[in-house]
Structure 1
């Protein structure tokens, strides 16, 4: 016996799942709330199960509904992929894209990409998983994320790594710090001052330990943290200086922080898009992927954001008193 439901019923189901409300879902798919309820009733009748528990105040998925939701999402995504070469379905679809990203890229670079994407596709939700480089790889391989942005993955057999840019490590310091007056700083000079660092769980720490095997700090760091963005907060508070990837820095007009290139040796990292090998991106994910590729033109040769983009991306903050 055939299953008596259609594409509209699946789209109504997905809308309710994503928005958690029959009223909001009806608005999203441009039908009345009673019409949307009829579509859900039809789907439940065809499947012979209840997909939602409904009260006057809430809508929640049943156990069967939670099991069915990923399959419905996959069916609709597969259909979008099939139609992608025929017509543009991305601008009108109600969907989502999940990106895993290392925090040093997520804080200043990625917000501009998200803002640009949202202006073009306001009905597509973006979920960012800001995580360590190893966690980004795991999220991409497991399928939790559509793709990732990281500096690790080029040696992994399960993923493809497309280089976006190469950036240099710089000395991050306050504008009133003695190092701020220099044109370049050696690693030994950096370590003559109090500094903060990332701990051994960080991919950046692994990269630096390998590159700086001949450099010995005179003293341990005054503080260790897991993420580069936290280090910048500590530097801004006056706790010391830090070695960070240039992309993690705000624009040149930041009122407190500045950076100086680190030399002897020059340490660089490659930032790229990480995708699970053999996986086809959904139209929504493909559009966001292209948005990030287009953003490369907004990044300076050193890996820092151009001032116009940095002003749009960074949070508005007043000078410290």
Structure 2
């Protein structure tokens, strides 16, 4: 089995077609087709089904894909070891993080890192917590920053701290005008990210529901909204309230369109973890970034 065959397989799976994958790898279509035939012959299984719009993975192909990605990532780690023989913080480092964390001190720590190590090319991308873990495991990024722990044994996890989350409502609703009415009677509609039906890990929607129920609010209606920005806009319009990261709504608080409810029972924190592959090569540049992020203020 050759690395070029694995690269061809992964490229076709991601592009969902031989022609696009061939262009990405600067190969002719006969050349990339030959590599896949050789790989399928060696595995004794067909990896792709041809359809009108391109190709789809067969069941063996779906099973083989994550292993192929990780094999490619391991080879890249070996290349990095050789290239970093001088143990200098240089080269390229990639990181995926949950978008809402861009409003925290994490981005300040990354900016300081870039100033301190100008020879390092740092690339960033945003994704949900689950996708951040997948990107790290597949070797598509070196490092991830996500909410909540991921117990996958193939990941190293470092707790960076807790991001504060607070209950919020529209800024034009005042407690003073209804001071005799308990907050639990005023706020019964809560906006939340949808529950993940098959999620094995504790996550944000579960956290919200736990806090609301522990606060003794009865007759609660949870409204699924899959975007933090949409949640803020709907809360501003009076369609409910929410439990949101404090760092994500500073502009709305300054404008007065959102306000924090004085409701200590609902205030809590979301653990933020730094993750990377357990068997990954930690280059000097990556180690410096890990150290920098551990000093970030959430």
Cα distance change on mapping 1:36 and 1:120 into 2, 3 Å: farther
Q: How does 1:42-53 map to 2 (within 5 A)?
A: 42-53=38-49
Aligned to 2:198: none
Structure 2: gaps of 5 or more residues = 85-90, 112-120, 196-204
Question: Corresponding residue for 1:306?
Answer: none
How many Å separate the matches in 2 of 1:161 and 1:225?
32
**Are 1:39 and 2:35 an aligned pair?**
yes
Segment of structure 1 superposing worse, 231-240 or 248-257 = 248-257
From 167, 189, 208, the equivalent of 1:204 is: 208
The equivalent of 1:309 in structure 2 is: none
Aligned to 2:100: 108
User: If each structure's helix is expressed as a fraction of its own residues, which one has the higher value?
Assistant: 2
- Tell me, in whole angstroms, the C-alpha distance in 1 between the residues paired with 2:156 and 2:245: 22
Match of 1:150 in 2: 147
Picking from 64, 67, 71, the partner of 1:71 is 67
Q: Structure 1: which 5+ residue stretches go unaligned?
A: 304-321
Aligned counterpart, 1:225: 223
Contact 1:194 1:239 in 2 (8 A): no
Confirm or deny: 8 A CA contact 1:235 1:242 kept in the other structure.
Answer: yes
By how many angstroms is 1:197 displaced? 3.2
**What pairs up with 1:1-321 in 2 under 5 angstroms?**
5-54=1-50, 57-87=53-83, 106=98, 108-109=100-101, 128=128, 149-151=146-148, 162-178=158-174, 190-191=183-184, 193-197=186-190, 202-207=206-211, 212=215, 220-221=219-220, 223-225=221-223, 229=228, 232-249=232-249, 251-252=251-252, 257-260=257-260, 262=262, 267-273=267-273, 279-280=278-279, 294=293
Aligned counterparts of 1:246 and 1:282: Cα–Cα separation in 2 = 35
What is the DSSP-based 3-state SS (H/G/I as helix, E as strand, rest coil) of the residue aligned with 1:76? helix
C-alpha distance in 1, partners of 2:247/2:170? 17
- Structure 1 CA distance for aligned equivalents of residues 247 and 295 of structure 2: 12
Under a length normalisation based on structure 1, what TM-score does the superposition of the two structures give?
Answer: 0.54
Shift of 1:11: 1.0
Q: TM-score, normalised by structure 2?
A: 0.57
Instruction: State the distance in 1 between where 2:236 and 2:157 align.
Output: 33
Q: Is the 8 A contact 1:235 1:241 kept in 2?
A: yes
Q: Matched residues in 2 for 1:242 and 1:220: separation? A: 16
* C-alpha deviation, 1:27, in angstroms: 2.1
Asked which structure has the greater RCO (Cα within 8 Å, sep 6+), the reply is 2
Kindly tell me: are residues 7 and 152 of structure 1, through their superposed partners in 2, closer, same or farther at Cα, counting changes over 3 Å? Answer: closer
In structure 2, distance between residues paired with 1:249 and 1:54: 48
* CA deviation profile, 1:100-158 (whole Å, cap 9, x unmatched): x9xxxx563369999x9xx9659xx9763669xxxx9xx88xx89997722467xx797
1:258 CA displacement: 2.1
